Structure 1
Amino acid sequence: MVGGGQLSRMTQQAAIALGQSLHVLAVSPTDPAALVTPNVTIGHHTDLEALRAFASSCDVMTFDHEHVPNEHLRTLVAEGFAVHPGPEALIHAQDKLVMRNRLAEMDVPIPAYAEVKTVSDVTQFGEKHGWPVVLKAARGGYDGKGVWMVPSSGEALVTELLEAGTPLLVEERVDMTRELAAVVARSPFGQGAAWPTVETVQSNGICVEVLAPAPSLSEDLAQEAQELALRIASTLGVVGVLAVELFETSSGLVVNELAMRPHNSGHWTIEGSGTSQFEQHLRAVLDYPLGSTDPVAPVVVMANVLGARSTPDMGPDERVHHLFARYRDVHVHYYGKAERPGRKIGHVTVLGEDLAEVRRRARFAADWLATGAWPDGYDVHGGK
């Protein structure tokens, strides 16, 4: 797996159970996966020679991020290395303009969009589709980075980005009711599997919660999201996990983004599904039969642990100790990252039957692990 982040770290846990040895290409020996994986090579994902040497030591190469240059991957495939997902598929997760163009050809519901070459491209688009508009870097953005809400012409911002060589596109601002995600997997054989459609809750461009299954979502719309994701995976030739981020609108579903790897919206599957997204990704890239995606509880909530604005008085271990003393049923995943404000340093998962109660416990647990402080108004003996 190219990349030593938390996705690779959690994939290592799944590899152990399958009797596989996960070889990780990490930038630093302190990367989250490098701290727990014995088979680590230190090298950069933009270095073709490092990638070639790494691929030579593996049966199959896959990724925990989309930032490997596509031309390098094409070279490796031409040289006979197994790369999943392949560069022809992965380009749609690497370049938003390529993705939008291809989805439009497939008649997939997407926002109105246009490539941006000049400031007037944004101005004309806004005048046609209405302000504000969404300006996006075509490559490299994640967790809200590389996305700007432009209330009017945005001349200064657009000029600055274009002069810096940033490839851009502009999209209409979608009038949505909430955000959803459909996470699926596909094997080289062509087998597909889909988890229940989930709701993702965002704050400042970062996912803070995942509710599985998406509450109050009609069965027809949930199935439509799954079938749409499976169609995209098949048409693009994806091998591995594909996450399709969606907007739910009054007129139906709209595709926002694609990710061809394990995804934050699928972390709930570790404890909440018959097969986790990490095991499923390995099964797919190894061309094993895919596992069950059935949930194991009526409600599953995942909450991200985001670094606090100030350093907590308690260390991480002490925070976990007190959390487990209060809530024995909370599943904790720390990523081995240094704590910085707003940084994803872990997540928690809670299973149950009542959405409001499960969500309350998950949000409290995540807040506590982040800050080491009781939320305002929280009764330590029984909740709000």
Structure 2
Amino acid sequence: MSLRVGIVGGGQLARMMIAPAVELGLDVRVLAEEPGMAAGLAATATGDYRDLETVRAFARDVDVITFDHEHVPQDVLRALVADGIAVHPGPDALFYAQDKLRMRAKLAELGMPQPEWAAISDAAELQAFLDANGGRAVVKTPRGGYDGKGVRVVSTAADAADWIEALEPGGQLLVEELVDFTRELAQQVARRPSGSWRAYPVVETVQRGGVCAEVIAPAPRAGQRLTDVAESIGVAIAEGLGVTGMLAVELFETADDRLLVNELAMRPHNSGHWSQDGAVTGQFEQHLRAVLDLPLGDTEPRAPWSVMINILGGPAADSLESRIPGALAAHPGAKVHTYGKAPRPGRKVGHVNLTGSDLDAVVSDARGVAAHFDD
């Protein structure tokens, strides 16, 4: 009988696990939040991932539970483990992906390089941090933020007054120094429950409006020292937090050649979409291998350069799929991946992958393919 993988969450990450699961001979099942979601092809149940009995019923007939996102509550995760269900990544690791304050404290304990930071609960504490860190800072809500949500650049305590006033008794916000970075990078590591791991090449990411717009793999101008340091940070975090499955570590590179940890994701990640078509083993197959404790695949690139461009917003006048023939005719080497989502300004509705030996040409062509889906 096939191994059965249960994925909690019906978004595009779950959707992109379906094809490699079929290729590996796995039985993949999805608990979607509602009908018609991106991973609806494999949705065997719909329901609230925050409800223990809903998740418990879904998990009853699978060999491992994994995730499309990190938002399943700790009490649900720990109840599944107590039931004897394999959960990867487990609650002890996801604990740090679910709360940025706890993440910062744990990374400090592990000795990982990161921006100056503090937990603040009132305007005076925020102003004191601003005064000590150049007068500008980044305030983040500890839970729930992504793609620029729950993040605010401030220069006075008044800029975050509404968030501070909304805090519950004992609640805190995270404040970080506004890093003067030269570029953003990302390091991915896959780790099995038995402890073995494989790292992907460090990549450069380009953000627009708080959303990842482009990824170049491997990161241009990445010498051996940078490559080694990025990998060592990723592996140390994966092992230090006990992550199983894919881990993405978002990094800032500074002018004085430091790498600072920005964010973590314990699942396949936007920074790794290039690997679907640009690496020997794509991140979605690798995640499935890892959570099932199967041998990990080769992470080497298939070409000197891979470029991923997100399709943001999408065409409002007609379907995204109707634009694909024209895009492929103009760029036969491109790979287009769609998410089955309705267009909305700024929404990730798909991405384009392209590989080649000339970076400038690959970037230009990938942008040209993505332009076919502009409204």
TM-score interval, normalised by the smaller of the two chains: over 0.9
Amino acid paired to 2:308: M
Contact 1:137 1:166 in 2 (8 A): no
Separation of aligned partners in 2, 1:148 and 1:118: 16
1:331 aligns with 2:354: no
User: Cα RMSD over matched residues?
Assistant: 1.5
Instruction: Output the TM-score relative to the length of structure 1.
Output: 0.93
Residues 278 and 165 of structure 1: is their aligned pair in 2 closer, same or farther, counting only changes over 3 Å?
A: farther
1:319 aligns with 2:323: yes
Amino acid paired to 1:209: E
For residue 157 of structure 1, report the CA deviation from its aligned partner: 3.2
For residue 166 of structure 1, report the CA deviation from its aligned partner: 6.7
Matched ranges for 1:295-374 at <5 A: 295-308=301-314, 311-312=316-317, 314-371=318-375
The 3-state SS of whatever aligns with 1:369 is coil
1:190 aligns with 2:195: yes
* Per-residue CA distance 1:177-205 (angstroms, 9 max, x = gap): 00000011000111100110000000000
For residue 311 of structure 1, report the CA deviation from its aligned partner: 2.2
Separation of aligned partners in 2, 1:98 and 1:158: 19
Amino acid paired to 2:299: T
For residue 258 of structure 1, report the CA deviation from its aligned partner: 0.5
Contact 2:184 2:204 in 1 (8 A): yes
Residues 11 and 155 of structure 1: is their aligned pair in 2 closer, same or farther, counting only changes over 3 Å?
A: closer
Which of the residues 246, 259, 262 maps onto 1:253?
A: 259
**Larger deviation, residues 200-209 vs 359-368:** 359-368
- Aligned sequence identity (%): 52
1:227 aligns with 2:226: no
Matched ranges for 1:1-384 at <5 A: 1-34=7-40, 36-37=41-42, 39-153=43-157, 154=159, 156-162=161-167, 167-251=172-256, 252-308=258-314, 311-312=316-317, 314-371=318-375
Residues 155 and 365 of structure 1: is their aligned pair in 2 closer, same or farther, counting only changes over 3 Å?
A: closer
For residue 233 of structure 1, report the CA deviation from its aligned partner: 0.3
Separation of aligned partners in 1, 2:169 and 2:360: 46
Amino acid paired to 2:208: S
Contact 2:154 2:160 in 1 (8 A): no
The 3-state SS of whatever aligns with 1:317 is helix
For residue 218 of structure 1, report the CA deviation from its aligned partner: 1.3
* Per-residue CA distance 1:301-343 (angstroms, 9 max, x = gap): 00000015x724x432331111112111110001000011110
The 3-state SS of whatever aligns with 1:257 is strand
Residues 181 and 365 of structure 1: is their aligned pair in 2 closer, same or farther, counting only changes over 3 Å?
A: same
Contact 2:141 2:174 in 1 (8 A): yes
Separation of aligned partners in 1, 2:200 and 2:230: 10
Separation of aligned partners in 2, 1:275 and 1:240: 14
The 3-state SS of whatever aligns with 2:286 is helix
For residue 79 of structure 1, report the CA deviation from its aligned partner: 2.0
Instruction: Output the TM-score relative to the length of structure 2.
Output: 0.95
Runs of 5+ consecutive residues of structure 2 not aligned to the other structure: 1-6
* Per-residue CA distance 1:135-154 (angstroms, 9 max, x = gap): 00000000000000002222
Residues 100 and 49 of structure 1: is their aligned pair in 2 closer, same or farther, counting only changes over 3 Å?
A: same
Tell me the number of residue pairs that the alignment of Structure 1 and Structure 2 aligns.
367
* Per-residue CA distance 1:261-286 (angstroms, 9 max, x = gap): 00000000011000010010000010
Separation of aligned partners in 2, 1:169 and 1:144: 15
4+ residue segments displaced more than 3 Å: 157-161, 163-167
The 3-state SS of whatever aligns with 2:77 is helix
Contact 1:45 1:51 in 2 (8 A): yes
* Per-residue CA distance 1:286-311 (angstroms, 9 max, x = gap): 00010000000000000000015x72
Separation of aligned partners in 2, 1:161 and 1:320: 45
Runs of 5+ consecutive residues of structure 1 not aligned to the other structure: 372-384
Separation of aligned partners in 2, 1:282 and 1:370: 33
Residues 123 and 217 of structure 1: is their aligned pair in 2 closer, same or farther, counting only changes over 3 Å?
A: same
* Per-residue CA distance 1:229-258 (angstroms, 9 max, x = gap): 011101111110000000001231000000
Separation of aligned partners in 1, 2:276 and 2:31: 23
Separation of aligned partners in 1, 2:369 and 2:330: 9
Separation of aligned partners in 2, 1:92 and 1:188: 18
